[in-house]
Each structure stands twice: as C-alpha cells, then as structure tokens.
Amino acid sequence: MQMYLLALNPTDSVTEGFLPAARRLGLAVTVLTDQPAAHLAVTGGAYDGVEVTECPVRDFRAVVSLVSARGRPDAVFSNSDHLQVQTALAADYFGLPGKDWRAALRTKDKAEMRRRLAAAPAPAYVPVRAAEVPAGQDPQAVLAAADVPFPCVVKPREGVASEDVVLVAEWAELIARCAQIRARRPGEALVVEEFVHGSLHTLETLGDGRTRRVLGGFRTQLSAPPYFIEERLTWQPDLPEPLVAEVLAQLDVLGAGFGACHTEFVVSRGRARVVEVNYRAIGDQCDLLLAELLGVPLFERILRVHLGEPLPPDEWPAPARAGVLAYPYARTAGTLTAAPGPEDAETDGVRLAYRPLRAVGTRQPVHHTNRDLLGVVRATGRDQATVDRVVDAFVAARTWEITA
C-alpha cells in the first residue's frame, strides 16, 4: 500500500512517530516536501526505505498532479499545521479517507474559527470575542469599532508555535504590537481576541469519521506574560466530563472530527473556552509521551484511519501512570556553549528521556516562542509527585549555557 506524507521541515512526530509506524504497517511511503535536503539529512535511519520527493506542497494542485502521475494512492496524510487543507483536498480528489478541507481551513484560520464558533445557534459554550485585522488594512481603523476588551491577545491569523502571540494591556500598546508584527510579517492578517483568564489545558482526540475517541489531555504551564512559551505539560487522563463536552461541542461546530486533533482551551469560571485548534497530533514530543502513556500503537492508529480502518473499540485502557514534559528554553540571545546530550534514565520507577533540540555551538536568538526550546524532558511514572520530583532534579543537575 502506498502512502504520501506531506511535510515542510522534519519533525520528531514524523521521524520518530509516523515513519516508524508506517514501516510497521508495511506501507510504502513517499514524503512530499519543499525541503528535501533537510529530510534526507535526518540521521538515525528514520528515512531508510522511504522515498523523499521535492514538491511545492503548499499548492494542492501540484500535490494532486504529482501523485496522479504515479497512480492512485492508498492514503494521503500530513501532520503539519500548514498543510492540512492541501492534504484534505488531495485526499478528497482521490476519493480517500481524510479531513474535510473546510474544517481544516476553519481550524487553521483563527479569524474564521472565531466567526464560526460565534455564529453557531445557541452554542453550548462561551465564545471568545475577537476581531480580524485583514492584510493591508490599518489596525487603528479596524479595531476602533471592535468589541474586544483589554487585556487582549494579538496574533497572526494563521500563525503557529506561539510566534508573535503577545498579551497587551491598553490601546497604544495594541497598535504598537500590531505594527511590530506587521514589520516582521508583511502582508499577513492579524487577530485580536479577548484574553481569557484561567488554567490552560489540551484535549487530544482521534476519530475515524464515525467514532471520535477522547485520549486525554495535558495541563500546560506557560512563561510569564506577555508571551506564551510552553514550559511544562502535565498529563491529565481524566478531564471533567462537562469541560470535555464543551470542547467537543466546539469541535463539532468546526467539523473537526476525523483523524488526530489537538485542542488548547482555558478553564475560566468553570467553562471551557477554546484558544486554538490544531487539526493534527500534538507535537513537541508530547505525542511520543502520549503513545507511551496510553500503551497503544497511537501512530499506527492515526495512520489506519487515513487508510479507511475503524478505530478498535477495546484498545484504549485508562492509564494509571503519570507523565510530564519539561522544556528548558533560552531566556537570552547568544551562542549555546554548554548543554547536556541525549540521555535515558530510570529513577524511583520514573522512566525519563532527554533529547536536545539545539546543538552546542548553535547561535540562538530569542523569539519568545516555542522556537526558543533547547531540549525536551519526557518522563512517566506511577504517581505525579514522584515524576515531578525526578524531572525537577534532572533539570536542576544540568546546565544550558548561552554566551552573548
């Protein structure tokens, strides 16, 4: 069976998750990418036996043309935020299981997502107030009539990884931030939305087009305002059912029910208010931890639904284990002159894996986003207190040094 996997830059989700899963399923895989050299340079055998082909993957017409010339595939798949619409259109063209391109567009376009959720009749949730600043339009003129209270958050309409997402407290700061983001991202539309006070969580789901299964979620610890860097995620297998129901109701309005979906939401005054929906599996190695915590072949399950197979009804045990991901990150710009190498350890029943994300000698700017992460600590154990203690001790005993 032949699968085409659309990708931009290489990610751990693909190299450590989906490609090994495809190999175990016996699939022939062709990676379509606009960065073939980067994928071919991946070490560790992740691409052994996998064809890497250059393709302008942001253009669904180019994808359809290339694939069609090779014969009808069995699956077209992507785990990239940027490529869900293109992948959905290509899968639909070939009559293959896949996501509705409209749902992929609604989740990628944050302004359209807010409009869709706000327009739903009698919603079983509290929409977040938001306004769009279209490309080329003056933020002052657009936002003067907007019903968005302070403090508020300004972000690119189709951004990822908390890039150029910032909290602002008053009007002059909002206009200045819009100008700064526009200078870095000329021609991009922006979204300004109310800041929702509360605790940040995720909900991870997987659907086959008929059944949608809630896999669990994480509690997210963020850096201090005004930025939103993810510092730590703690496994939450049993989110309160009313909150889950509110999140699922919002996903239903968006039409996001097929394949993997990673939703971020804030619990505010007992209500679940969606921050954003990433219509793919959770990243930054959280998916690797999720597969370990669930004790099921998660990546294979995701690929199987794209091959048209139903989700198994009896393969999802309630995990009793605890889990944490912690992210050392750069606070200042400079050269990374000291950092630990990859490590696997077991202490007090806690299995821990550390993987660096930046090599010593790398020049590291400060983005105030998840791109500042220097490494990932993944840990699982019997109880949360022990896992937290072991992770904290591991991080405290190691040094990440940045020299200006």
User: For residue range 356-376, what is the model confidence (pLDDT) as tens digits?
Assistant: 999 999 998 888 888 899 999
Reported as a single tens digit per residue, the pLDDT across 190-223 is 999 999 999 999 999 999 999 999 999 999 999 9
Q: Which of 88-92, 139-143, 241-245 has the lowest mean pLDDT?
A: 139-143
- Count of other CB atoms within 10 angstroms of residue 296: 17
Q: Find the mean pLDDT for residues 169-191.
A: 93
| Residue-level pLDDT at 162 | 83
pLDDT confidence bin for 273, thresholds 50/70/90: very high
- Report pLDDT for 395: 97
Report, as an integer, the average pLDDT of 269-291: 96
Please give the span between the terminal C-alpha atoms of the chain, in angstroms, as a whole number: 51
Q: What pLDDT sits at residue 289? A: 96
What is the 3-state composition of the chain as percent helix, strand, coil, each rounded to the nearest 5? 30, 30, 40
- Report the pLDDT value the prediction gives residue 327, as an integer from 0 to 100: 97
Residue 319's pLDDT is 63
CA-to-CA distance for 153 and 273, rounded, in angstroms?
A: 14
Asked whether residue 124 carries a pLDDT value surpassing 90, the answer given is no
Mean pLDDT, rounded, for 304-311: 97
Phi, psi angle pair for 95, to nearest 5°: 70, 35
Q: Do strands 212-222 and 230-236 pair parallel, antiparallel, or not at all (unpaired)?
A: antiparallel
> In Å, how far from its chain's centre is CA 53?
24
DSSP state, residue 41: T
What pLDDT is recorded for position 308? Answer: 97
Is residue 402 pLDDT above 70, yes or no? yes
> 343-352 burial by CB neighbour count: b if 16+ within 10 A, else e?
eeeeeeebbb
Please name the residues in contact with 104: beta carbons below 8 A apart, sequence gap of 6 or more: 84, 85, 87, 88, 279
- Residue 321's pLDDT is what? 85
- The pLDDT, as a whole number, for residue 320 is 63
Give me the mean pLDDT over the 71-91 stretch: 97
The model's confidence at residue 318, banded by pLDDT at 50, 70 and 90, is low
User: Which pTM value belongs to this model?
Assistant: 0.95
Mean pLDDT of the chain: 94
What span, in angstroms and rounded, lies between the C-alpha atoms of 56 and 28?
Answer: 21
Res. 114: pLDDT tops 90:
yes
Looking at residue 316, its pLDDT comes to 63
pLDDT digits (tens, 9 = 90+) for 234-268: 999 889 999 999 999 999 999 999 999 999 999 99
How many CB atoms lie under 10 A from the CB of residue 277?
24
CB 368 within 8 A of CB 155: no
